[in-house]
Structure 1
Amino acid sequence: MDENTENWRKYYEKALSRPHHPRTEFVVKSNGSSSKVAVDCGCGTGSDIAYLNEQGFDVFGFDVNEDSISICRERFDSIENVYLQQRSFESFNFETAGIVIANSSLFFADPDAFKSTVKKITSSIAIGGVFAGDFLGYKDSWASGFRVPTSPVTKQELLEIFTDFDILRFNERDEIGKTLIGKEKHWHTYSLVVQRRT
């Protein structure tokens, strides 16, 4: 087993015990569209899928990692209105949605296709709908020389991406901290929740 696969396995083992992301509740409350469709990009072990489904959404979850989708298929086998695919950002077909979440997953989107990927996401969100996600900053340890390609952005680039959205929450993290599997690194990330207005 290569190092990348082993690290993802360790991550999923830890992630299985975690509840949904706290901001997902805020996202559900903030959805001003009539759409009851939600997309979880890089769905991991499915904690946010479970919560969104409980709130009455049809949830489309995708992840590039086979282990993730296997875990989710087992977890949601008997649950209606959850649709899972092993896909990358670049190959997933985004339908119109009231909610799109990308918790720490856009870090690993293909840098050569990053602009078109983000355009696909923003265009898919219904008017009044909400996007919540995390983006990698250039000071992050993973921004260059990581074991897989990453897609860092500047704050200005990020604000330009979401010019048709109202910013509901915006947070910049710039500090030393640990990953979920206990490895120390420098974190430089932008986390935001935005609502489409046009």
Structure 2
Amino acid sequence: MLEEHQQIWRDYYAKALQRRHLPRTELAAKLNESRTRVAIDCGCGTGSDIHYLAELGYQVHGFDINSDSISICRERFANQALVELYQTSFESFDYPKSGIIIANNSLFFANPDGFFDTWQRITDSLEIGGVFAGDFMGINDSWASEYRSPTTPLNETQVRELFRQFGIVRFVERDEQGQTALGRIKHWHTFSVVAVKRSIGG
């Protein structure tokens, strides 16, 4: 079972290596009003967003729980002084003060028992004027109850409540059948958010 799980991720990374950074990562960089040129990529995968942000001159901290991901990124960014990589989890990562935090399709897999504490640490590390861009799993998603490890599904009200300190720039709900990166069909229910931090606490 473990070997099958690892192979699924390897197949995913092989596909992901062919992809460019997401357009919303460009949007996050444009929206960053903080003076902090530090970015965090949570669940960095093969590093497409790391590459883009480092090209802009950001000091980028990328982490992923999967060793294959970090091995790929260490090879890819071996000569990049602006890139720091860590094999760790959402719960264990030491979040530095940052101007951009990216969490593309990764917060789904944060430990549900500590999700709100993790989210607090993420938002605390983001400077005023900094930008969060990422995805949250909705309650109708197939993986909300049928995934091989625990996930953190949220409803729209819960997701919006996470952003009380923010000005939401983009909020997109997806609730439909669709393919995974490996071509498998599942029901997707996600909330994709881009938001600028406006206040501390609250």
Q: Same fold, TM exceeding 0.5?
A: yes
Where does structure 2 lack aligned partners over 5 or more consecutive residues?
A: none
Aligned match of 1:15: 16
Aligned match of 1:119: 120
Aligned match of 1:104: 105
CA positional deviation for 1:3? 2.1
User: Residue by residue, what CA displacement relative to the aligned partner does 1:90-119 show, whole Å, maximum 9, x if unpaired?
Assistant: 000001100000000000000001010111
Aligned match of 1:143: 144
Aligned match of 2:61: 60
Q: Give the 5 Å matches for 1:5-44.
A: 5-44=6-45
Provide the rounded CA distance (Å) in 1 between the counterparts of 2:107 and 2:5: 17
Task: State the TM-score, normalized to the length of structure 2.
Answer: 0.97
Aligned match of 1:69: 70
Where does structure 1 lack aligned partners over 5 or more consecutive residues?
A: none
Aligned match of 1:197: 198
Output the aligned Cα RMSD. Answer: 0.7
Amino acid at match of 1:54: E
Provide the rounded CA distance (Å) in 1 between the counterparts of 2:142 and 2:24: 25
User: Residue by residue, what CA displacement relative to the aligned partner does 1:60-114 show, whole Å, maximum 9, x if unpaired?
Assistant: 0000000000000000001111000001000000011000000000000000010
Point out 4+ residue stretches in structure 1 off by more than 6 angstroms: none
Provide the rounded CA distance (Å) in 2 between the counterparts of 1:181 and 1:148: 18
Provide the rounded CA distance (Å) in 1 between the counterparts of 2:33 and 2:67: 34
Aligned match of 1:162: 163
Amino acid at match of 1:152: P
Provide the rounded CA distance (Å) in 2 between the counterparts of 1:161 and 1:124: 15
CA positional deviation for 1:145? 2.7
Provide the rounded CA distance (Å) in 1 between the counterparts of 2:9 and 2:87: 15
SS of structure 2 residue aligned to 1:191: strand
SS of structure 1 residue aligned to 2:44: coil
CA positional deviation for 1:2? 2.2
Amino acid at match of 1:66: S
Aligned sequence identity (%): 57
